[in-house]
Structure 1
Amino acid sequence: MDASVITQPDAPAFRPRRAHAATRGDRAFRWLTAGAAWLVLFVLVAAAASMAWGGRLAFRTFGWDFITGSDWDAVGQRFGALVPIYGTLVSSAIAMLIAVPISLGIAIFLAEVAPRWIRGPIGLAVELLAAIPSIIYGMWGLFVFAPFMANHIEPWLTERLGPLPILGPLFSGPPIGIGMLTAGIILGIMTIPFISSVMRDVFQAVPPALRESAFALGATPWEVVRKVTIPHTRSAVIGAIFLGFGRALGETMAVTFVLGNAHDFSVSLLMPGNSIAAAIANEFTEADSAIYLSALIALGFLLFVVTFIVLAIAKLMLVRVERKAR
């Protein structure tokens, strides 16, 4: 008797059982992945809500003056977050001005220019920079880099740029080594590994056919980078930049060492300042009253809001870039 005739009666009973098992597996997979995604959203909302609830006393007591005020008097229990907000944004902006072009150069060199034998050591060195703890950067900045800035860089900036009508106020003041500029440079060094690593990976993900086609048409390596690699990966490049920006906004220990931790508003980049993360780290153990503790928690909520706004702007930029690419 033919084997197909023998097995045919069992086939209808076997197939529904197998299809039912596959359906249950797909359903379980969908619920697990959806649960993981909703868990992230729940944790995010819970963290924001807990900080807002913890800072409600400060918000209720000072209102908008807590955001726009520059006074930070723990004895008189008068608190304003303008100086830490300003210091956080300015130091992070300085870090991006330094880190973005350097990271772009590193990524282009590793993905397009460097010989194959040197890509590994340089890439490993960049990744090792990302593995260095932030407190090491802070100690190096305080004991090595800050004296170098005070003795060599800041006097030159004050002498050459201080008399200028527009840039002068940014570079006026005594060369003490610690301040906004030093903190921004340290943050830039810290964010370079994150931005350059992401850029390098996306540059290497460009299809080789695109590069080969450009070279076949007579394009130079610079033209390939400018007209093929960067346009093909522009959305990922913007995402990498804002990823580094978010890293700079929330940095604590390195900034605490070199920023100066002064609640004094100053336009000069050479003067000491403060940031939200540094203020919380320095003063959390000294909060001896309910309003003091609430003000520090409210600072954490404002840092959350600032980071959320930055990431929202990044998302909007990515959407616009993708629409133009279409």
Structure 2
Amino acid sequence: MPPADLVDATSERPGLTTLPLRDDQRLDAESVRPRRLSRKATGVDAVFEQSARVIGASMLVITGGVGLFLGYQAKPTFQTYGWSFFTTQVWQPDTNTVGIAAVLVGTFSVALVAMTFAFPLSLLTALFISEYAPARLKPTLVAMVDLMAAVPSIVYGLWGYLLVMPHAGDFAVWMQAHFGWIPLFDVRGSDPNAAVIDQSRYVSSAFCAGIAVAMMVLPMACAVMRQVFSQTPVGEKEAALALGATRWGMIRNVVLPFGRGGIIGGTMLGLGRALGETIAVVLILSPTFEIKPNLLEIGNSTVSSLIAGRFGEANTSQLSALLAAGFVLFLITLVINTLAAIIVNRSRSGAGTDA
């Protein structure tokens, strides 16, 4: 046993020995107690934290203010028309008959066509950039896709009206000839096998407008998917390849399951954008107020195009009805975007990533 003066009196473990300390080296218990660390930001960090908090809260206040304003302005319309506002197809303010049933169906019709084209294109583009593109080419491809989001809506509208619509009309004729037995691809009063085909029946439709809108929502959906795919754990990808999986087998069994939440979230965010697109739809669609299950037939209308087309000539009561339609669209978009955020946050995407 060591001498008693060699045993550290402050040690709680028996048998632990230390070298003897001089009296001037012995520390008081209070002086060796760990100091408490403060997590409170100071200096520049505090300024950044408070600025971010203020800006984030401002966005919530602005969004809530928009919703409250639309709801307040829409209250007279809801009190006047009640549930008939949601079931009436026609929009005739002169006869005091207004409803958004037709434009709601048209809104979802255009969005359905847009997502039919945008979903596979955005998914394949995101997979190519994240998994197949050479490293030196990736920044250029990412910049090109992101640049698509900066193109004004009117440019897409002119592109769809002048370039896409004539070819989309020809494709619509082919679709009706081969799949006309499906109501979605039938054009009433037109025979695709006739000697002279009335091409005017196949343009300015939800199908033509949906193609233009698809190009507008593609960058948003692609960006979300690509970001999620890039966070796939490298260890899992290398393990799949080490076990003999092909590149596509690794993507199918590792990347896609990991990014499922991002795929769903990006698609729903794109859907929210497609529902509210305005200028491109106004330029392409021929406005009609009728519930149409025919995507290829001329004529349709959406909530956003209705507001843009009737806002300038609306009186007080008509303006309230338009704002009521906008309030309904606001709620639909808010619900879709909220669901997308919840799905992305609850998904496995981004968890447990390896450097």
TM bucket normalised to smaller: 0.7 to 0.9
Q: CA contact under 8 A between 1:77 and 1:292: conserved in structure 2?
A: no
* Distance in 1 between residues matched to 2:39 and 2:149, nearest whole Å: 45
Residue of structure 1 in register with 2:193 after alignment: none
Q: Counterpart amino acid of 1:73?
A: Q
* Cα pair distance change 1:120/1:28, threshold 3 Å: closer
Residue of structure 2 in register with 1:310 after alignment: 336
Residue of structure 1 in register with 2:205 after alignment: 179
1:210-262: CA deviation from partner (whole Å, max 9, x where unpaired): 22221111111111111111222222222211121111111110111112222
* Distance in 2 between residues matched to 1:264 and 1:223, nearest whole Å: 47
1:178-208: CA deviation from partner (whole Å, max 9, x where unpaired): 1111111111122112211222232223232
Q: CA contact under 8 A between 2:110 and 2:206: conserved in structure 1?
A: yes
Please point out which of 145, 167, 178 is paired with 1:160: 178
Q: CA contact under 8 A between 1:148 and 1:177: conserved in structure 2?
A: no
Which runs of no fewer than 5 residues in structure 2 stay unpaired? 1-23, 25-30, 191-200
Secondary structure of 2:94's partner? coil
Deviates more, 1:24-33 or 1:234-243: 24-33
Q: CA contact under 8 A between 1:77 and 1:291: conserved in structure 2?
A: no
* Cα pair distance change 1:85/1:145, threshold 3 Å: same
* Distance in 2 between residues matched to 1:263 and 1:206, nearest whole Å: 47
Deviates more, 1:92-101 or 1:119-128: 119-128
Residue 233 (1) aligns with residue 252 (2): no
1:26-46: CA deviation from partner (whole Å, max 9, x where unpaired): 776665444333322221111
Pairing 1:1-326 to 2, within 5 Å after superposition = 31-150=50-169, 152-162=170-180, 164=181, 167-173=182-188, 174=190, 175-271=201-297, 272-287=299-314, 289-315=315-341, 317-318=343-344, 321=347
Residue of structure 1 in register with 2:27 after alignment: none
* Cα pair distance change 1:63/1:103, threshold 3 Å: same
Q: CA contact under 8 A between 1:253 and 1:278: conserved in structure 2?
A: yes
How many residue pairs get aligned? The number is 308
Q: CA contact under 8 A between 2:104 and 2:302: conserved in structure 1?
A: yes
Displacement after TM superposition at 1:90 (Å):
1.6
Q: Counterpart amino acid of 1:40?
A: M
* Distance in 2 between residues matched to 1:23 and 1:179, nearest whole Å: 56
Residue of structure 1 in register with 2:7 after alignment: none
* Cα pair distance change 1:109/1:23, threshold 3 Å: closer
Displacement after TM superposition at 1:50 (Å):
0.1
Q: Percent identity?
A: 31
Which runs of no fewer than 5 residues in structure 1 stay unpaired? 6-11
Give the TM-score taking structure 2 as reference length.
Answer: 0.78
Larger helix proportion of the pair: 1
* Distance in 1 between residues matched to 2:250 and 2:300, nearest whole Å: 43
* Cα pair distance change 1:169/1:129, threshold 3 Å: closer
* Distance in 2 between residues matched to 1:77 and 1:309, nearest whole Å: 30
Give the TM-score taking structure 1 as reference length.
Answer: 0.84
Q: Which has the larger radius of gyration?
A: 2
